[in-house]
Structure 1
Amino acid sequence: MINLQPYTNPRYFLIILVALLPLIIGLYFGKRFKIYEAIFSLVFLFLMFDGKDTIQGWQLIAYVIFQFIITFAYQRYRQAGKNKTWVFCLAVILAILPLTTVKIAAVVPTQVASLIGFMGVSYLTFKTVEVIMELRDGTIKKVDPITYARFLLFYPTLSSGPIDRYRRFKADCDKAPEREEYLDQLRLGTRYIFQGFLYKFIIGYVFGTIWLPQVAHAAQVLGNANGGLKISWALVAYMYCYSMYLFFDFAGYSLFAVGTSYFMGIKTPMNFNKPFISKNIKDFWNRWHMTLSFWFRDFIFMRFTFFAMKKKLIKNRIRISQVAYLVDFLIMGFWHGLTWFYIVYGIYHALAIIINDIWLRFKKKHQKQIPHNKFTQALAIFLTFNVVCFSFLIFSGFLDTLWFH
């Protein structure tokens, strides 16, 4: 039996294109074959978790059943007209419990991680928490079980996103697009997939497979020669090389997921929008891994801000936003993993945004004295790029190898 990991080689795309042909033909004629779409997803999920990954397939099934119980129990509770905060908090805690357990088990000597740590657990958790929170807000009145299953198990985005929203997804999957709209989706989907090939299999390969090991080795040799971590040309080269690899590899993967989704008539949101031309760090997070950053903005940053204002935890609104940034990015750091470099990465970005906000307020107050032209804009892009690349050096964990090994 073939084990098909998503978007790993050209053969995968030929197989999935052939499998998608009935859906493509149906959508062209204004018909959405929901039964075939379900069969397609289940078959490819089976192939994805076949062989040595079979246990992960069973974990996925158990996880979805667990989340169904939580979501529909909470929906029934809300439909009864009840809205106790502690019940909502319990539902959220239960929804994130599997992911939290996986993150803790990854750094604690235990077999728990292997029992529940399947591919895609993070992105499924983001989806379930979003639905529970919007049920509480009333923006989602009722979750349809079939649509919810399709939403959670949507094959193109299962393993690594982008993170869609239930209401947006439901609007697409409930109907077939008009022919002209679908032809445009096919055109864009084809473009995104070829762009993904360029990003992941060519540019990402050069940076990640050819250059990165070489500069990593050079940095380690120079570091050992100097008795530990020391800034060198190789370390700087590693920082830029890893940053480029991280972007092109992940952006390429995301383009594959979006392009495949478009073939299926689902307009999954884009994940990247030219992040390295950002003029400041806040602009960067509006362009980088957008579905993740917007999820954290909507469901952590904004909710903490409203909670702090409502409970009058902090009177100064500027201080509230600063604390909210720290909470937001600290949680993001912990989500990546319970290691010092992920946590420092989160704190680093929180401090960068706080400093940026202070600068923007100062700039607005003294706008007549501070020049604003093409040179200053280019300087802002250059500074932001380097601030971001240094954060990726922290994120890579490479400094950990220089310090402790």
Structure 2
Amino acid sequence: MGMRTGLEGCSIPFGKVFKAPVSIHWTFIFNFLFQVIYAIINHTSSWKYIVMVAMIWGPFALMVVYVHEVGHLYANKKYGGTTYKATLWPLGGFSECYIEQCTCMQEFFVALAGPVTHIPQFFIWLIVMLASSDVGIDYYQQPFSFAAFDAGGPDDFFAEFGKQMLNFNLVLFVLNLFIPVYPLDSARMLAAVLVQCGLTTDRSCLVLIIFGFLLGLGCLIYGIMGIVGSSNDGITYLLAGLFLLYTIYGLFQYYNRRKVTSHPLFDADCYRERRTFVGGSNGVSRNYTNGRATDAAPRSRADIENGKKSRPSTFLQDDEFKLRKTKEVKQKRVSDSKPKVPSNKKMSYGKALKKAQKMKMGELKRECEQRGIYTNSFVEKVQFEEAYAKSFSNK
């Protein structure tokens, strides 16, 4: 217990998509209030600008990220996957999806489906800007002027509004496609590509940790320098840097405790079994436990006949191998003293959920631990119940 992903926290229900509940993360509400308050403090005289900021970072930003998340859920459904929950946050969203025996490339395309939704939205807001402006495409290159904006009419308002929404979609598209930092979609795409190219799951996780740490540290330093220099975007970069470092620290905890595949970023069959696009469900796959390679080196026929034992995997150092074997012996002793094992009886998600709801918190927690559910983002009994029911659906 104690490990975090960086996305825990309160959220507000926001309907359903493909029967999966959707909620708004607290960071979305925080960002909206921050943007509006910042606009009021610095531009009190321009009420039109304050209204535009409230509209962009409120209902219209929510619409953009909602469509973004629908893209993920649609792709997941096309591959026959199941979605359990989706959470919206300022730069997109995060879905708890599961595709049985998925490949790395399926995971890649599900992650790619979100950023792709910004392309048609980009052209929609481009048309709004062009239809409202007298100068056409040249309006996009014109610098923003508070005096001209306040003195202008409805056409000037919608032209600037379309321009800002166009930029908003462009930023989300670039961030989620080219900045591989969890929880952005590009992190999921890079992880899938790295494992597809032959890296182990834990090595791929380490690459993302290093890159995310450097980017978060860069944003933090740039934000501090901006605040000292009275830059308008200094506080934004500072908050972004802190958030990135917080989420990367959560990912590092899973890596450090050898539970990489328990993290939502690597919670897929393609990472647990390194199931590639070429191999697929019928091809050769190597088994991994909690993100660490545990398969032994192959033995020749002569070695088998002579009774020669296989060597430990080259992915593990000698000390790591000894430590793992020691843990396996301890776990075996514990299992011998406690013969009780979780039931593998087939059960639907709905029946499993009803069964979990009848349990007391302590009993439910023990059942979850026996089924290998160690994620510590659960702070309420409802979340334990959903995880318990989900474990039956993944069988």
- Range into which the TM-score falls when normalised by the shorter chain: under 0.3
> So what's the TM-score if we normalise by structure 2?
0.26
Higher helix share: 1
